C-alpha cells in the first residue's frame, strides 16, 4: 500500500465525524487546579477576534499617549519616499471608509522594513500595481496619487468604537504580528505558533518553516485536497488532551485576500465556510484535528451567537470574518467595526461576561504604513506592528500596554489559564515536531496578565451602537 492509499484509507473513518458547523460543544473549564477561580483562572472564556490588515499607525497612530506617529507641532516627523514623484510622503488623516489594498507577503514585509528604515511601503505598492493591475478595474488598483492611501491614518472620526474600547479597556501599542508575512501564515501562527511545509502528513518531524506558501501534502497546495497538509502540532491538540473545550467560528462568505504572489492585490474572491480549509480557516487542514475527531468544533458564526445566548460558550474561541466584515481593503471599515461591535455586545450581554477575556487584533499590517521597527525574535518573526486591544470585566481601565507582544502571547495566556503552563513544546507536549523554538517562551515576549486587575470587581458591560456617530478629531 503506497503512502497516498494509506493516508486515504486512514482518513476514510473520519467521514463519520459530526459535520462542521453543528452545535453541541460542552464548556469544560480546566486549569492546573480546576477548582481555583482566582487570578487568571477567573477567566473561563478566552475569545480571540481576529480582523484583517491594519497597521497600528493606521488605526491608532494619533491615539493620545500611545507610541504612534512621531509628531512635532502637529506635523509628522517621519515620511516614506515615493520614487515616482521624488517626494517623501507624510502620514495624513484619511477620512475615507474604504482603503486601497497594499501588498503584504513575506517579501513585502522585508522590503517595507528595509533593514529598520521603515521606508519601503510605497515602493512595494508601485511594484504590485505594475505586476497585477494592468488594465484592471479592481478598486484595489486605483492610482496612488500624491497621498498614497497606505500612508493614511484613521482616528475616532472613523473608528469611534475602537477608540472608545481603548479608552475604557486596554490598548496594546507594541503588538507585532507573530511573523513577517500575510494572512495565511499569521492565522497558522495564531493557532499553532508556526507555519511550515511538510513532506509527510503523518510525520510532524517532516516539517520545515515556510513563511510564503506552505505546501500541502498530495493536495498540491490545494487546501481542499483529500489529505490534511499540516502535520505539526497546534494548540487544539493540547486542549483535547486536557479536556478544554474550544471552537473556531467562521463568518461564511468570501475571503478578499489573494493567495497568489503573482497577483498580490488583484484576485477573484474565494468562498469560505466552516467546512472547507482556507487561508483564514486553517484548522481543518491540521492532521491532529482530524485524528482527535474535533472537526465539528469548526463552526459557522451563527453557532457562536447561539452558544453565547445559552451560556454554553467554549473555554477558548477564535472568530474570523468574511471579506465584507474583515476591514481588509477595499471592504468598508464601518462594516467591520459594526460586525466586531455586534460580537462584543453579544458577549457583554451573555451570562458569561464576568468570566470572559476578549483579545481583539488585526492579523497583519496589510501593507499599510507603520513607523516602529519590529524586533527580531527568531527566523520567523516578529512582523510589523498591528492594533490590539484587551476587553474584559477585569481589564485595567484606559491602560496603554507598552510590552512587546505578538499573537504568541494569546497562546501563552491560554496555556497558563487552562493547561497549567504547558507549551506547544516538542520536548514536553507528547507530539514532537520540528519547530525551531518554543515561541511562547521568547524572552522578549510580554505577559497579557499585566493587562488585568483580578482584584477589582467585574466591570459592567459597555454596550456600543454598531454604527456610531463620528468621534472627535485626534490632537496632533
3-state secondary structure 403-455: CCEECHHHHHHHHHHHCCCCCCCCCCCCCCCCCCCCHHHCCCCCCHHHHECCC
pLDDT of residue 129: 83
User: What dotted CATH number matches 35-57+158-451?
Assistant: 3.40.720.10
Distance of alpha carbon 426 from alpha carbon 432, whole angstroms: 4
Q: Which residue ranges of the chain lie beneath pLDDT 50?
A: 1-21, 26-32, 217-224
The count of other CB atoms within 10 Å of the CB of residue 398 is 12
CB of 153 closer than 8 Å to CB of 93: yes
Burial 16-42 (b: 16+ CB within 10 A, else e): eeeebbeeebebbbbbeeeeeeeebbb
Spatial neighbors of 379 by CB under 8 A, at least 6 apart, are 209, 436
pLDDT of residue 289: 96
Instruction: Kindly report whether the global pTM for this prediction surpasses the value 0.75.
Output: yes
CB of 461 closer than 8 Å to CB of 396: no
Q: If phi over 0 gives left and psi between -120 and 50 gives alpha, with beta otherwise, what is residue 53?
A: left
Burial (Cβ within 10 Å: 0-12, 13-18, ≥19) of residue 115: exposed
- Residue 281, all three cell numbers: 480557516
Distance of alpha carbon 406 from alpha carbon 464, whole angstroms: 27
pLDDT of residue 128: 86
Please, where in the chain does CATH 3.40.720.10 lie? 35-57+158-451
CA distances from 146 to 126, 134, 249 (A): 13, 20, 41
**Mean pLDDT rounded to a whole number for the chain:** 89
Amino acid at each position: 500500500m503506497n503512502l497516498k492509499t494509506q493516508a486515504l484509507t486512514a482518513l476514510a473513518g473520519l467521514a463519520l465525524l459530526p459535520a462542521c458547523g453543528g452545535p453541541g460543544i460542552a464548556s469544560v473549564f480546566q486549569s492546573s487546579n480546576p477548582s481555583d477561580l482566582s487570578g487568571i483562572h477567573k477567566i473561563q472564556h478566552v475569545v480571540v477576534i481576529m480582523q484583517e490588515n491594519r497597521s497600528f499607525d493606521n488605526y491608532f497612530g494619533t491615539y493620545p499617549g500611545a507610541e504612534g506617529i512621531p509628531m512635532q507641532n502637529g506635523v509628522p516627523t517621519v515620511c516614506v519616499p515615493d520614487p515616482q514623484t521624488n517626494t517623501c510622503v507624510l502620514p495624513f488623516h484619511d477620512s475615507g471608509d474604504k482603503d486601497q489594498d497594499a501588498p503584504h507577503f513575506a517579501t513585502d514585509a522585508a522590503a517595507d522594513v528595509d533593514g529598520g528604515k521603515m521606508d519601503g511601503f510605497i515602493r512595494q505598492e508601485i511594484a504590485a500595481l505594475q505586476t497585477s493591475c494592468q488594465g484592471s478595474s479592481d478598486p484595489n488598483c486605483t492610482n496612488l496619487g500624491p497621498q498614497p492611501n497606505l500612508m493614511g491614518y484613521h482616528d475616532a472620526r472613523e473608528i469611534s468604537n475602537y477608540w472608545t474600547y481603548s479608552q475604557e479597556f486596554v490598548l496594546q501599542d507594541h503588538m507585532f504580528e507573530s511573523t513577517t508575512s500575510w494572512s495565511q501564515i499569521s492565522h497558522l501562527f495564531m493557532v499553532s505558533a508556526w507555519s511550515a511545509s511538510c513532506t509527510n502528513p503523518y510525520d510532524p518531524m517532516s516539517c520545515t518553516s515556510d513563511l510564503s506558501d506552505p505546501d500541502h501534502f498530495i493536495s498540491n497546495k490545494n487546501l481542499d485536497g483529500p489529505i490534511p497538509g499540516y502535520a505539526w502540532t497546534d494548540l487544539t491538540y493540547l486542549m483535547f488532551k486536557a479536556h478544554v473545550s474550544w471552537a473556531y467560528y467562521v463568518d461564511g462568505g468570501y475571503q478578499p485576500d489573494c493567495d497568489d504572489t503573482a497577483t498580490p492585490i488583484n484576485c477573484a474572491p474565494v468562498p469560505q465556510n466552516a467546512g472547507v480549509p482556507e487561508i483564514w480557516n486553517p484548522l481543518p487542514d491540521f492532521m491532529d484535528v482530524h485524528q482527535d475527531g474535533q472537526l465539528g468544533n469548526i463552526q459557522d458564526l451563527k453557532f457562536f451567537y447561539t452558544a453565547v445566548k445559552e451560556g454554553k460558550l467554549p473555554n477558548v474561541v477564535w472568530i474570523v470574518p468574511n471579506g465584507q466584515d474583515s476591514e481588509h481593503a477595499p471592504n468598508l471599515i464601518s462594516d467591520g467595526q459594526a460586525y466586531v461591535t455586534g460580537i462584543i455586545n453579544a458577549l457583554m450581554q451573555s451570562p458569561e461576561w464576568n468570566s470572559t477575556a476578549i483579545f481583539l487584533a488585526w492579523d497583519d499590517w496589510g501593507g499599510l504604513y507603520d513607523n516602529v521597527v519590529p524586533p527580531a525574535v527568531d527566523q520567523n518573526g516578529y512582523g510589523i506592528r498591528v492594533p490590539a486591544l484587551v476587553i474584559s470585566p477585569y481589564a485595567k481601565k484606559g491602560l496603554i500596554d507598552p510590552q512587546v507582544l505578538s499573537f504568541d502571547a494569546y497562546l501563552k495566556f491560554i496555556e497558563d489559564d487552562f493547561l497549567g503552563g504547558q507549551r506547544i513544546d516538542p520536548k514536553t507536549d507528547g507530539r514532537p515536531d520540528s519547530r525551531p523554538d518554543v515561541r511562547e517562551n521568547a524572552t522578549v515576549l510580554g505577559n497579557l496578565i499585566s493587562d488585568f486587575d483580578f482584584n477589582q470587581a467585574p466591570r459592567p458591560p459597555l454596550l456600543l451602537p454598531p454604527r456610531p456617530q463620528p468621534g472627535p478629531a485626534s490632537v496632533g
